[in-house]
Amino acid sequence: MRSRSVLTGLTTAAALAATLSPVPAQAAAGHGGGRHCPQLSTELPWHGANRAKLQRTIDERGTCSGHLRGGTRRPVAAFDWDNTLVKNDSTDATIAWALRHDKILRPERWSDTSKWLTPAADRALTEACGTDVPVGHPLPTSTDDACADEILQVRGEAETMAGEEAFAGKWNHRRTVPQYAWVPQLFAGHTVPELRSYARAARDEALAAPVGSTQRVGTHTVPAYSRYYEQQQDLIRTLKKAGFEVYVVSAGSEPVAEEWARGVGIDRRHTFAIRSVVEHGRITTWTEGCGGMPRSKGEMIPYIEGKRCVINQEIFGIDGPRAWQKQDRRHRIAIGGGDADTDVTFVGDATGTHLVLNRNKPEIMCRGYDDADGRWAVNPMFIEPLPRKREPYPCSTEGFTRPDGSLGPVRRNDGSIVPDQFDTAHGAA
C-alpha cells in the first residue's frame, strides 16, 4: 500500500437538525427552556446546525443538566490548538520568528537532533549552516538564507532543499511523526522561559499582522499572521460558564502552546503538548513518554493515538498501557475539536460533540462526514476557509493510516467500511 506524507453541496440545515435529539426534559422544565443556561452567541456564524449540536451537549452535560452535584466530575472539553482554535500554525510562527532572530543553536551533529534524520538531511543541514559557529551558539539564520531554508524544508516537507528524504526508519505512524517531534528538538539548549519568550514575541507579531499577509524566511514565503477564532473563544467561554473543564492538547512544543493558549483563557495546567525533557535547566532532544512508554527521542508525542493517551493519563488519571485504549463514557471527554488526522482519535472519543474544522485531511473528514453517531459537526475554517474538494475523500480505500504507514479503508466501530465522502462544508470555490 502507498504511504501518505503527513504534510502534503451543502447538507440542508433542516436535515442536520433532524439528527439532533431534544434538550433533556429536566433542563427544559427546570431552566425555562434553556433561557438561563450559558448560550453560544447567535451573532457569530456557524455552519449548518453545528451551533445547535454544540449547544445540545452544553445543555446535556453542563450546569443546566442537573447532573453536576457534589462529587460529580465536571465534564471535559479538549481541543487541538493549531488551526482549530487559532488560524495558522503557532509552532511554525515561532520557528519563523526564531529563524529571523538567530535563536536556533548549532548542534554538534544535526543527526543528534532526531533518531530518524537521514544522512542526506544531516549533510544538507551541515553544508547549509556550516561549522564555523561554535556548538551551542546561535546560527545566523536571519542572514543565512541557505541555513534557514534547509531547516524550514526539513520541518515543513520532511525533505531537503534538494528533494531528498529527510527522515527514514521505523516509527508508529499513529503515535509520532519525526518532523513534528523535531520542532522542540530544534530548541535544544534553550531554557523553557527563553522558548516561552520567543513564542510570545511570535504571537504578538502574528496577531498584529494583517489577515492574509505573508513573510519571507530564507527564500521561503510563509504566513505572517494569526488570529484567534471568535467562535472558538465564545465556545470556550460558554463551556467554562457551563461548568466544563477545557483543555488544549497539541502536537506542537508545550511551552509554545502554553503561551498561545493563554490568549483564549486556557492556562498551563490545562495545556498539553510535546513535553521536552529538561536537564540542568536546558531543553534536550528527549521527550517525555505516555502510557507506560519511557522517555525517548520522539517515539511518542501527542499525535493521533498519542493525544488519546495524554488525555487519558493526564486528565483522567489512567496509567500504563490502558491509557492507549478507548475508555468507558465516564472517562472520556464530552466535546473534542480538531482539524487534522492527528486529532481524529481523541475527537472521535468524545461522547457529546465531535467538532471538525475542514482542512481536507482524509481520515477525520471521512469520519466527520460519515457522522456515524449523529454527533459530528464539520465546519469550514472560520477565516479563509478552503474551497470545496472536487474529488471525494478515499475513505473506502486509503483514508486510514496504519501504524506502519501504509494506507487502508476507514472503518466504523462495528468494522464496516466508511464509503467515500463528498466535501459539503467548505468555503466558496
Task: Please give the pLDDT value at position 66.
Answer: 77
3-state secondary structure 130-144: CCCCCCCCECCCCCC
Q: Do residues 230 and 44 lie in contact, with contact meaning Cβ atoms separated by under 8 Å?
A: yes
Measure CA 85 to chain center. 9
Task: Please give the pLDDT value at position 32.
Answer: 37
**Helical (H) or strand (E) element with 92:** helix 90-100
CATH number of the domain that residue 378 is part of? 3.40.50.1000
Task: Give me 155's grid cell.
Answer: 520541518
Signed CA dihedral, 175, 158, 274, 248: sign only:
negative
> How far separated are the first and last CA of the chain, in Å rounded?
32
- Sites in the chain below the pLDDT cut of 70: 1-35, 69-71, 429
The torsion angles phi and psi of 324, rounded to 5 degrees, stand at -85, -10
Q: Determine how many CB atoms are found less than 10 A away from the CB of residue 163.
A: 9
Task: Please give the pLDDT value at position 70.
Answer: 63
Q: Determine how many CB atoms are found less than 10 A away from the CB of residue 13.
A: 13
Task: Give me 302's grid cell.
Answer: 501527542
The torsion angles phi and psi of 376, rounded to 5 degrees, stand at -85, 140
What is the pTM assigned to this prediction?
A: 0.91
What is the Cα–Cα distance from 187 to 176, expressed in whole angstroms? 18
Strand ranges (E), 158-311: 214-217, 220-223, 227-228, 245-253, 271-274, 276-279, 282-287
Signed CA dihedral, 49, 90, 121, 190: sign only:
negative
Q: Determine how many CB atoms are found less than 10 A away from the CB of residue 386.
A: 16
The domain tally of the chain equals: 1
What domain range is 375 assigned to?
1-429
Of the candidates 424, 423, 427, the one whose C-alpha atom is nearest the C-alpha of residue 387 is: 427
Task: Please give the pLDDT value at position 69.
Answer: 67
Q: CB within 8 A of 160, min separation 6: which ones?
A: 120, 121, 124, 150, 153, 154, 166
Burial readout 127-148 (b: 16 or more C-beta within 10 A, e: otherwise): ebbeeebeeeebbbbbebebbb
What is the Cα–Cα distance from 93 to 30, expressed in whole angstroms? 47
Task: Please give the pLDDT value at position 27.
Answer: 36
Of the candidates 198, 190, 193, 199, the one whose C-alpha atom is nearest the C-alpha of residue 137 is: 190
Task: Give me 409's grid cell.
Answer: 479503508
Residue 382 CA neighbour count, 13 Å, CB half: 21
Q: What is the DSSP letter of 194?
A: H
